[in-house]
Structures are given as structure tokens and as C-alpha cells.
Amino acid sequence: MALASVVSQFDRTVINLTVGPLKQAFSLNDTQFAMLQSVAFGIFYTLACIPLGWLADRYQRRVIMGVSLLFFSLFAMSSGFARSYAQLFLTRVGVGVGEATVTPAGLSMMSDYFPREKLGRAIGAFFMSAPVGQAVGLIAGGLLLQWLATSSVLSSGLLQGFEPWQAAFLIIGAPGLLLVPLFLLLKEPPRRGGGAQMPLSPREVFALIRERARALTPMFAGFCMVTLVSYSFFVWTPSMFQRTFDWNPRQAGLAFGTIVLIFGTAGAYFGGWMTDRLARRGHLDAPLKVAAFGFVGCGVFGGLAPLMPSPELVLAMLAPAIFLSNTPYACAGTSIQLIVPNRARAQVTALYITLITLVGLGVGPTVVGLMNDYVFKNPADIRYSLAIVVAVPAPIMFTLLALAWRPYRALRGGA
């Protein structure tokens, strides 16, 4: 499951290193590029989440994930064949639909693999795969694009006639195909916990959500702020290094990817570890408090990072910002699994993924692009757009999760 997440993150990260070539190839502005991630990928990812979550609550999750892997890998590769902006847009739609099942089905399976007292660390380990995939995408993607641009591999053979960015898409989509047989051979865990036997209808699931709305509404809204910041970081930070400090994709990918690999993975695991630690001490709202207090620090360091006068200082500020921006993910996944019956977990998780992706990917990168094009206008001033979009959501997220603490404790106490 972690490998599937790594592969999906790898694909959606490498495209962020191709801003310059894609803008040149299709005569795009920053807003149009952002729409490849926000509308093409993000909107259709969210539309697919809920029906795929419904399937995961009823049928074998390993088969659903295997088929989805095949689907998004093929569409990722087909991005390399795009000859127009419309064609590229459609391939990113396919990638988004295919990737939509990884987290809902994956978390549902993990809640059956692990007992409650170990679930936070297990989910934390699962969410470590996201920064690993992002880091691999940044580091390997930057090196791959540099190699494709400087070697003779595109002058002969199967890749002859392709641009470096096109060949990169063909190459990065292939690893997902190797995972498909592994999922089809994976053992499906027996469903455990409350509501494990009878599937819930969509009407019953939404009735359940309404019953828990005092906790779930501020939780979902608060975690939307986390993805808004995360997607803004990952879509635009490589471009910020290139525009502000004249770095090439290899330099930007290697430096930022190393930060993500070390501090992103550590932050994701820390969120799950600290949640389990506080839960053992009797804190029923542990996942929400760990997420809220950690993300405040992300707003401080992340807001200052783009404003630093040198790339070294930017990276120094990004290290704690990336650590703390990844901490809430394990907390969010754990918090939902602990207050939702088994046969509704994938659907409720899918709704959560739908909302956080719609806001995070649909709003965050697009707002940065709009500010670049229509407010600051100078491409080098992307640092100011990024600083604003990263800093503002942190206090909003803390306030929203604080509103959920008491009703969440009540639900945990009655579980």
C-alpha cells in the first residue's frame, strides 16, 4: 500500500519540475499550468473518491487498488504523448481518477490489519510514503530531466523525437504497472470492529456523518488548510528556486527533494507516534491536538521560508516547515478511523479526501498562480505569493480543530 502511494506521489510531483517546458510547449501562463494540477487532476480526483470509497466498503479492496494502479499508470505514461494542452489536460484527468482509491481503500485495510493502540504509528508509517514519493519525484525527476536534456537518448531508439518532459512522463508511469500483480496477490484482511459485517448504504453513511457533524465538520475544514499549504509548497517551490535563485530543475529537485525525504517522512511518522503516545496517557483527542499545535509551527516557518535572501536560508526554514506540514496527515487518518464504523470507513475517508483535495489542490496552487499573474506580475515575485498562501491557513486550521476537541472526545468516550 505504501508503494502504491509512493508511485502516485512520484507522478504528481515530477510535473512540478516541468513548469518551464510545459509553458513554452503550449504557451501557458501560471494559472493555466496550475489548472493541470487543480482542475484536471484535483477536481476529477475528488469526484472519483466517493464512488471508489463506496466500492471499497463492499468489495475486495486489494482488487480495487490493483485496477486503479493499472489505470493511473497508463494515463501517466500517456501524458508523454500529449500534443496539445487539451490532450495533456485529459491525461491528468485520468491520472486523478486512477489515484483516487489509494488512500480510502488503503486506510480501510490498515484499520483491519492493526489494533487501535498501534493504528496511529501504522498510519503514520503509511503516510511517510507520501513525502518519500514526493522526494523521489523531486530528486530522481530532476536528475531524469537533466539527463534527458543533455544525453543523446532522445536522438535515436524508442524515445526518438520526444521532448525531455514527454520522455520523463513515459518513464515515470511504468513502475506502477509492476505493482499491479502484487495487489492482486495480496491477502484481503477480515473486516473488524463495529459495523464490520453489513455494508452501509450511502444514505446511512451520510446519516452517520450528520450525527457526528459537530466533530467532523471542523475536522474536515481544518485539515483542508493542511492540504492547501502542502499542495502550494509542492507545486510552486521548485519554480520559486528556479525563478528567484536561477536554479535548474536538477538543483531545485535535489535540494527540495532531500528536505522532503528527511523531514517530510520524519514529520509523518512523528504525527502517528505522538498520537499513540498521548492516547496511552488518556488523551482521547490526541490526534487533533498533535495536528493543531504542529501546524502552527508550519505556518511560521513556511511563511518565512520563501522570503529568505539566499537559497540556503530558504532550505533551513523549509526543513521544520515540511516536518510540521506532514505531521497532521497521520493524525487525520487516525482520527477518522477511530470514530467511524468499519463498513463506512472507506466512504467517510473518501469524503475527507474529496474535500481536502478539492480545497487543497483546487484552491492553493491556483491562488498562487493567480497572484503571480495578476497581483505581483514579476515571475521572480512568486516568493511573496507563496509566503502568503502558506502562512495564512495555519491559525485558521488551529481554530477549527480546537472547535472539534470536545465533540471528538465525546464520540471517543462512547466508542
Domains of the chain: 2-184+198-413 (1.20.1250.20)
pLDDT tens, residue by residue, 3-27: 777 777 777 778 878 888 888 889 8
Residue 107's φ and ψ, nearest 5 degrees, are -65, -35
pLDDT tens track for 218-268? 999 999 999 999 888 888 898 899 889 988 888 888 898 899 889 988 998
> CA 398: distance to chain centroid?
20
Q: Which three cell numbers stand for residue 85?
A: 494542452
* Spatial separation of the C-alpha atoms in residues 132 and 124, rounded to whole Å: 13
Q: Look at residue 368 and tell me whether its pLDDT is greater than 90.
A: no
- The three cell numbers of residue 63 are 482488487
Residue 304 pLDDT > 50: yes
Residue for cell digits 491477502?
A: 187
pLDDT at res. 198: 61
CA distance 252 to 19: 12
Q: Are 238 and 245 in contact (CB under 8 A)?
A: no
Please compute the mean of the pLDDT values over residues 269-275 and round it to a whole number: 88
User: Could you tell me the pLDDT band of residue 116, with boundaries at 50, 70 and 90?
Assistant: low
Average pLDDT for 355-380: 84
**What does the longest C-alpha to C-alpha distance in the chain come to?**
66
> Which residue reads 485496477 in cell numbers?
67
CB 180 within 8 A of CB 7: no
d(CA 80, CA 71): 15
SS (H, E, C) the chain: CHHHHHHHHHHHHHHHHCHHHHHHHHCCCHHHHHHHHHHHHHHHHHHHHHHHHHHHCCCCHHHHHHHHHHHHHHHHHHHHHCCCHHHHHHHHHHHHHHHCCHHHHHHHHHHHHCCHHHHHHHHHHHHHHHHHHHHHHHHHHHHHHHHHHHCCHHHCHHHCCCCHHHHHHHHHCHHHHHHHHHHHHCCCCCCCCCCCCCCCCHHHHHHHHHHCHHHHHHHHHHHHHHHHHHHHHHHHHHHHHHHHHCCCHHHHHHHHHHHHHHHHHHHHHHHHHHHHHHHHCCCCCHHHHHHHHHHHHHHHHHHHHHHCCCHHHHHHHHHHHHHHHHHHHHHHHHHHHCCCCHHHHHHHHHHHHHHHHHHHHHHHHHHHHHHHHHHHCCHHHHHHHHHHHHHCHHHHHHHHHHHHHHHHHHHHHCC
pLDDT digits (tens, 9 = 90+) for 40-79: 777 777 788 778 877 877 778 888 888 888 888 899 899 8
CA distances in angstroms from 35 to 31, 51, 239, 393, listed in the order given: 6, 23, 16, 21
Inform me whether the pLDDT recorded for 387 exceeds 70: yes
**What pTM did the predictor assign?**
0.72
Whether the Cβ atoms of residue 50 and residue 355 lie closer than 8 Å to each other:
no
> How far apart (Å, rounded) are the C-alpha atoms in residues 68 and 249?
30
196 pLDDT higher than 50: no
Residues of the chain above pLDDT 70, percent = 95
Query: pLDDT tens for residues 26-45?
Result: 988 888 888 887 777 777 77
